[in-house]
Structure 1
Amino acid sequence: MTILLSTLNSRYSHASLGLRYLLANMGDLQERTRLEEFVIGAKTTEVVERILAHEPAIVGLGVYIWNVEDTTRVVAMLKRVAPHIVVVLGGPEVSYETGEQAIVKLADYVVTGWGDVTFPKLCGDILDGPKPLMKVHAGVQPPMVEIAMPYALYTDEDIAHRTVYVEASRGCPFKCEFCLSSLDKTAWPFPLDDFLAQLESLYQRGARLFKFVDRTFNLNVKTSLRIMQFFLDKLAAAPDDPVYAHFELVPDHLPDALKASIAQFPPGALQFEIGIQSFNPEVQALVSRRQDNAKAADNIRWLSSQSHAHLHVDLIAGLPGEDIDSFGAGFDKLWALGPHEIQFGILKRLRGTPIIRHTEPFAMAFDPYPPYTILATDRISFRDMQRLVRFARYWDLVANSGRFANTIHTLLGDAPFANFMRFADWLYAHTDATHRIALERLVKLVEQWLRDGMWMSDRDARALVASDTAPKSAAGNTATVRQVRHLAA
């Protein structure tokens, strides 16, 4: 074995699609290439020891916003104990602002952007000469038909215990400045028949959870319909052997043909991640986000009321030009549309994204360390931004967890954002914590807030929370919720 492909995933259930693409496209070097994945938080010494056990000549590491700090320590230790090993970096975190990064200075080579063609060629040059002189190699984007698909490289263990990531296309035609996909010129589809054949193979091997990473799944409706029909056919053929699919949807593009297809899916089979980010037209214009808010709202309302799809809808706090009142108004509007989950995100300055152009005009201060979260803007002070961070965490614990499905409606009342912000401020004052709050303690705290903050009687508060926390007899419903949350993760 000569080449080791590796990365540190955010959790074990996440199998790296990027590494499998590289392995699938190694050509003559594939037999000399292996793949081993780790999880962030693992001891650096143990990671390095396992890498060295392969006795590689080249180590290729996928670097992302969630693992760059851990990976930097791995590279630093590798170069101390085995300086002869050639370290090649790739991934979005090192593809932009490359020269500023400590991890790049430690490594031997970097591939920016697409690595399917460039990484194998670089490895061949390192091994057989002539040895490359340049440290940074811009990834060559090949025609999509020439990229070998990686799905056969999912092991039986992957299929049984991990999320199977798939993509029918790469890229995005939209220019939202907070997103790395804004740097793409368009979306590039893989040959559809070939892709569907790969899905069929995965299904026959036992895959039942499919998470699509396409940024614009419903951009080409004809393609979307064929892919969704694939899953409908499986559900029809084996209704007792359910299949689950996760897609990211453009919120204002849901024609009738796609609605008709979505309406055929039974409960628990379909999840949509929908990026709203902001309902403020001025903020949308500032970050180059094109979105018909009225259509987006109508489509979310339809999906919520007329389909069985589980809806996971995103908002971002801290965008330029948005204050707390504007964000809160958007939150209230979204809550009224009835999504199952609102993913309350805090803006991050991803390397290379155009959002940086607003730094001075809007006094945007970002954390200099990953994940580069916004700390303050001219509209939101540092203190208030931390209140929003805590709001997001408590929202996950109380609302998105599904543990308080009845209580949450009373808690939010007719002013959802303001009321939950009051609760979040109170909860932090009483716990001084946003993590490691045991469920039993959280239940008692929610009861206490209903009494102290919402003036409910002790009996009514206990009864309301008990309606959520009492053991449920519908085990099937619990299983469905568990599957959907697995996809969301």
Structure 2
Amino acid sequence: MSKILLVGINSQYVHTNLAIRYIKNYVENYSSMKLEIYESSINNQLSAILTDIFEKSPEKIIFSTYIWNKEYVFKLVKEIKKIMPNTSVILGGPEVSYLTDKIMHENPEIDFIITGEGEKSTLDLLSESIEDVKGVYYRKEGQIKFNGYKPPISNLDEIPFPYSEEELKNSKNKILYYESSRGCPFECSYCMSSLDKSVRYFSLERVKEDLKKFLQEGITLIKFVDRTFNIDKRRYMDLWKFLLENYREEVTFHFEISGDLFDEETIAFLEKIPQGFFQFEIGVQTINEKTMKAIKRENDLERLKNNVLRIKENIHLHLDLIAGLPYEDYDTFKNSFDYVYSLKPEMIQLGFLKVLKGTLIFGQVEKYNYKFLNFPTYEVLSNEFISYKELTDLKKIETVLDYYYNSENYPKTIEYILKHHYKRPFDFYEDIARYYDSRGYFKVSHKQVSIFNHLYEFYLYKGFSDIEIFKEYLKYDYLTLKKPGSYPYWIKSIKDKEKYNEILKSMNFKSIREGHNKTEFEKFEYNVVSDKSGEVEILFIYNRKETKIQEY
């Protein structure tokens, strides 16, 4: 029996490839064949991966190909054919499912390409005569052949659970992906999922059995890859109630949802979810009405705002924006940014349009005069509404947004700056991005303390008033972050050491030394906790999950 290797090249070590696990378990469940999985990441050296694959001596290699690994996989395939010329190279995944004939012509090293849903087509390719297989491009007598598309699997329950017991036991600190449905009813013009307009579901019974396995092993983060999880209220409420009944503190479930679909009953239920148990990713993308209509994604912005504000206290929220959409220029994007910022999610994901083959946007390149990268990630460079310079400026704003907002390291300081010195949030991030750019800071990496220092120096550069009050807020955020090994040069330390020791004696530490290692005590000349004049002394207590404070 020939050796078959499934290869997943992930974007990061903590990620797992769901597709190759589905294929392995499906093929092994419905045949006597055995498949081996090999996973690595794009951060590893290509030569090392090439050696690993060579030493496994496979006769067939199946690569899972995505936007983040396409170039890497194509390079790897060329080298594999040099040292293993008789090994069959098979590619599958969204990055090779469109313009497939062209890909085969340009890459003679590829022997087969599986298009669309891979489980059944892979089984057929490995077990049947190629002339009888649908869903696969192949070579025969110097010609590229295709026998037509294979219809998608109607009963998803026939696909086995993707993870083994052993893998679950060894994956507590990895991100595991899971799907309870395939397809999406929406037609967003930039999204590959819009191509599969029907929605197919795994049965509720099957999904609950699968979720029990994650819960029993205490997997830290399970990401549902359902494109819009909250389509069918009866279904999603049933699953969420099941998860709540089986709550485990260390587990988090991540869902991609449409934020304006929830009704009052759902919101009332979500307000009761334990903090950190659910994590939502909400694709706002834009608030520009003309843009929403053009991309076929029209949000009820008032309802979305109400829903987000209601659940944000206990649901960890990621809100997405996309720059480069039709009719969204630099100035209208500011409005979209400020709208999302006003909702105060834990993370604002400022993304950039990717012009993906097969999507409606790909067919509108000439209409909107799109310029985009000809290689992955196919990111937009300009269109008739926004220039390359403006998109580059937004890229720089994305970087400082990650530093000063998404890191969650500066809540008090940034709130103070925005309240006292800016009319709108976008203006601050644009300002500090320009400051970074003028000093060449985008060209070097920064330690955490450097990012604090740059914010302090930016404040001085702008000549803003009340520098001493600002420094107290910055000091508070710095000390909240972690036990400092040393203080930055701008921190004025005012510490009553005798009082500090007396406080530690009254606490449950084994010794004063342990207390000092796990706490910090500082006097503030402005009450940054209550945001008012007056002194306050604060004990910072450092735990693994969070820093607690006590005022004195």
Q: TM-score, normalised by structure 2?
A: 0.81
C-alpha deviation, 1:128, in angstroms: 12
Q: In the alignment, which residue of structure 1 is the partner of 2:234?
A: 222
1:84 maps to: 86
CA shift, 1:209, in A, is: 2.4
Partner of 1:360: 366
CA contact (8 A) 1:117 1:140 kept: no
What's the secondary structure of 2:428's corresponding residue? helix
Matching residue of 2:26: 25
Post-superposition shift, 1:40? Answer: 0.3
Give how far 1:458 is off. 4.1
Give CA deviations for 1:17-55 in whole Å, capped at 9, x if unaligned. 111110111045564211010100322221111112222
Structure with larger Rg: 2
Q: Check whether the contact 1:24–1:153 (CA below 8 A) recurs between aligned residues.
A: no
Q: Shift in Å at residue 115 of structure 1?
A: 0.4
> Shift of the alpha carbon at 1:444?
0.7
Pairing partner for 1:107 from 101, 107, 110: 110
Q: Secondary structure of 1:442's match?
A: helix
Shift of 1:159: 2.4
Corresponding residue number in structure 2 for 1:209: 221
Q: Which protein is richer in helix relative to its size?
A: 1
Aligned to 2:296: 288
Out of 154, 176, 184, which is 1:164 matched to? 176
Counterpart for residue 259 of structure 2: 251
Return the offset for 1:259.
1.6
Pair 1:318 & 2:324 matched = yes
How much does 1:194 deviate?
0.9
1:473 matched to 2:476: no
**Which range moves more in the overlay, 63-72 or 142-151?**
142-151
Cα distance change on mapping 1:62 and 1:104 into 2, 3 Å = farther
Q: Deviations over 1:76-120 (max 9, x none)?
A: 100111010101100111111223437754310001110010011
1:59 aligns with 2:61: yes
Cα distance change, pair 355–445 in 1 and its aligned pair in 2 (3 A): same
| Residues 81 and 474 of structure 1: CA distance in aligned 2, closer, same or farther (over 3 Å) | same
Residue in structure 1 matched with residue 533 of structure 2 by the alignment:
none
Shift, 1:71, TM fit? 0.8
SS at match of 1:370: coil
Deviations 1:419-450 (A, max 9, x none): 21111111121134266222121111011112
By how many angstroms is 1:208 displaced? Answer: 4.0
Residue in structure 2 matched with residue 455 of structure 1 by the alignment: 464
1:158–1:164 Cα contact (<8 Å) kept:
no
The alignment's C-alpha RMSD in Å is: 2.4
- Post-superposition Cα deviations, 1:320-345, rounded to whole Å, max 9, x if no partner, equal 11101111011111211222211111
Q: Is the 8 A contact 1:58 1:123 kept in 2?
A: no
Residues 432-478 of structure 1 show CA distances to partners (whole Å, capped at 9, x for unaligned) of 42662221211110111122226144433322211111135252543
Question: CA offset at residue 261 of structure 1?
Answer: 2.3
Question: In structure 2, what is the Cα distance between the partners aligned to 1:300 and 1:209?
Answer: 22
> Which range moves more in the overlay, 71-80 or 422-431?
422-431
What are the residue-to-residue correspondences of 1:141-152 with 2, within 5 Å? 141-143=152-154, 144-152=156-164
1:64-463 equivalence runs, <5 A = 64-101=66-103, 104-125=107-128, 133=140, 138-143=149-154, 144-152=156-164, 155-156=167-168, 158-235=170-247, 241-304=249-312, 307-412=313-418, 413-433=422-442, 436-453=445-462, 455-463=464-472
Change (3 A) 1:366 1:171: same
The one of the two structures with greater contact order (alpha-carbon pairs below 8 A, sep at least 6) is 1
The 1-side partners of 2:139 and 2:101 are apart by 18
Deviates more, 1:132-141 or 1:310-319: 132-141
Query: Secondary structure of the residue that 1:161 maps to in structure 2?
Result: coil
2:14 — aligned with what?
A: 13
**Stretch deviating more after TM superposition (119-128 or 15-24):** 119-128
CA gap of 1:351–1:379, structure 2 versus 1, over 3 A, is same
1:156 Cα deviation (Å)? 3.8
Task: Please give the alpha-carbon distance, in whole angstroms, between the structure 1 residues aligned to 2:165 and 2:3.
Answer: 18
Do the aligned partners of 1:278 and 1:284 also contact (CA within 8 Å) in 2?
yes
Deviates more, 1:171-180 or 1:226-235: 226-235
Instruction: Please say if residues 172 and 217 of structure 2, whose CA atoms lie closer than 8 Å, have aligned partners that are also in contact.
Output: no
Counterpart-to-counterpart distance in 1, 2:465 and 2:115: 58
Give the total of aligned pairs: 474
Taking structure 1 as reference, are residues 457 and 105 closer, same or farther at Cα in structure 2, changes over 3 Å only?
farther
Unaligned stretches of 5+ in structure 2?
483-539
- Contact 1:210 1:246 (8 Å CA) reproduced: yes
Contact in 2 for aligned 1:225/1:258 (Cα 8 Å): yes
- Tell me the distance in 2 between the aligned counterparts of 1:135 and 1:282: 43
Residue 341 of structure 1 aligns with an amino acid whose one-letter code is M
Specify the SS of the correspondent of 1:195.
helix
User: Which amino acid in 1 is paired with 2:65?
Assistant: V
Give distance in 2, aligned partners of 1:202 and 1:361: 47
Distance 2:108 2:284 in 1: 38
- Cα 1:208–1:43 shift into 2, 3 Å: closer
Could you tell me how far apart the structure 1 residues matched to 2:152 and 2:213 are?
Answer: 26
Residues in 1 aligned to 2:473 and 2:150: alpha-carbon distance in whole angstroms: 57
Look up the equivalent residue of 1:282 and give its one-letter code: K
Return the letter of the residue paired with 1:393. T
| TM-score, scaled relative to structure 1 | 0.91
Check whether the contact 1:110–1:136 (CA below 8 A) recurs between aligned residues.
Answer: no
Between stretches 59-68 and 343-352, larger displacement belongs to 343-352
CA contact (8 A) 1:268 1:308 kept: yes
Does the 8 Å CA contact 2:189/2:361 hold for their aligned counterparts?
A: yes
Rounded to whole Å, the distance in 1 between the matches of 2:458 and 2:332 is 26
Cα contact 1:451–1:461 (8 A) shared by 2: no
- Is the Cα contact below 8 Å between 1:175 and 1:183 reproduced in 2? yes
Displacement of 1:402 after TM fit?
Answer: 0.8
Counterpart of 1:475 in structure 2: which amino acid?
A: N
Q: Indicate how the Cα distance of structure 1 residues 135 and 8 shifts in structure 2: closer, same or farther if over 3 A, else same.
A: farther
Structure 2 residue identity aligned to 1:373: E
Residues 175/310 of structure 1: CA separation in 2 closer, same or farther (3 Å cut): same
